[in-house]
Amino acid sequence: MTRWLLLWVFVALGSSAVAEEIVMGLSQDEVAITASFDGSDILIFGAVKRTVASAPLPPLGVVITISGPRTPVIVRHKERRFGIWVNTSSVEVDAAPSFYAVASSAPLSEVLSETENLRHSVTLNRAIRSIGADVDNTADYTEALIRIRSNDDLYKVAEGAIDFDEETLFRTSISLPANLVEGNYATRIFLTREGAIVDRYDTVIAVQKVGVERWLFNLSREQPAIYGGLSLLLAIAAGWAASAGFAAFRR
């Protein structure tokens, strides 16, 4: 009897755990930054795979986030002192993503509960971490960071931007701006029901410089003296060429 019961529990647990699973695809899992790079649109699509027939349950939701590499950022605040505007105080945000986008199939408050947001750091406020700030109104600084980066198109929230058909197929397009920083862009997809996360899928979009851009960047870091010398040589050569060119032109 106990054995039967145990088996039943196992089956029940197993089926509920893998009942709904994310299968996803990306239009590209690599973004190559070339000299003419002018931003890029990434299409994220996928489907919900079901091992059991869809029972009459509350509706599903999808939340997708893309996060660029996290770096510390100093946020400075200006105040008026002696008639001029001076940086008076600053807060160092320990880890702020260079790029962050959140998209959802419905308003975020409906598809994601506060607890799950806290646990998985989904919304912008949660994605930015600042510990050890010694100023009272740290929230103002975080808000300023979000405001400035949003104006630069680096932070974006697109509630309801995911098309979610028949609770099975989902699809959204996220545009990466031209002023993109190199690195691995962590991409997360959450499948939620009544605010709770049912399944999560993680992948990485690699953003990399290629060609001349790559070569110059590496040279500047690995052989800075040669890079600097090359820059000067270029400058002198260009200066001479222009002078000689104009002299010939005049004759």
Partner 1 sequence: MQLYLPIAEVSVNAFLLLGLGGLVGMLSGMFGVGGGFLITPLLFMAGIPPAVAVATSANQIVASSFSALLSHLRRRTVDIPMGVVLLIGGLIGSALGVVVFNILKAQGQVDLLVKLCYVVFLGTVGGLMLVESLRALQRSRRSGGAPVRRKHNWVHNLPFKMKFRVSGLYISVIPPLLVGLLVGVLAAIMGVGGGFIMVPAMIYLLGVPTKVVIGTSLFQIIFVTAFTTMLHATTNYTVDMVLALLLIIGGVIGAQVGARVGTMMKAEQLRILLAVLVLAVCGQLAFDLLLRPTELYSLERVGGAV
Instruction: Answer positive or negative: Cα dihedral of 153, 158, 164, 169.
Output: positive
Q: Examine residue 83 and tell whether it contacts partner 1 (CB under 8 A).
A: yes
Intra-chain end-to-end CA distance of the chain, in Å: 108
- Segment 51-80, which members bind partner 1 (CB under 8 A)? 69, 71-80
Q: Are 169 and 45 in contact (CB under 8 A)?
A: yes
- 78 vs 119, which CB is nearer to partner 1? 78
Is position 148 an interface residue for partner 1 (rule: CB under 8 A)?
Answer: yes
Residue 36 lies near partner 1 (rule: CB under 8 A)? yes
Q: C-alpha angle 162/112/190, rounded to 5°?
A: 55
Cα–Cα dist 102/205, whole Å? 15
What is the 3-state composition of the chain as percent helix, strand, coil, each rounded to the nearest 5? 35, 40, 25
- Establish if 239 lies at the interface with partner 1 (CB under 8 A): yes
Residues 179-238, interacting with partner 1 (CB under 8 A): 179-183, 209, 212-214, 216-217, 220-221, 224-225, 227-232, 234-236, 238
Closest CB to partner 1 among residues 37, 45:
37
- Nearest C-alpha neighbor of 24 from the set 201, 195, 142, 147: 201
- Count of residues in contact with partner 1, rule CB under 8 A: 64
Which residues make up the interface to partner 1 (CB under 8 A)?
33-39, 69, 71-80, 83-87, 92, 141, 144-145, 147-149, 178-183, 209, 212-214, 216-217, 220-221, 224-225, 227-232, 234-236, 238-244, 246-247
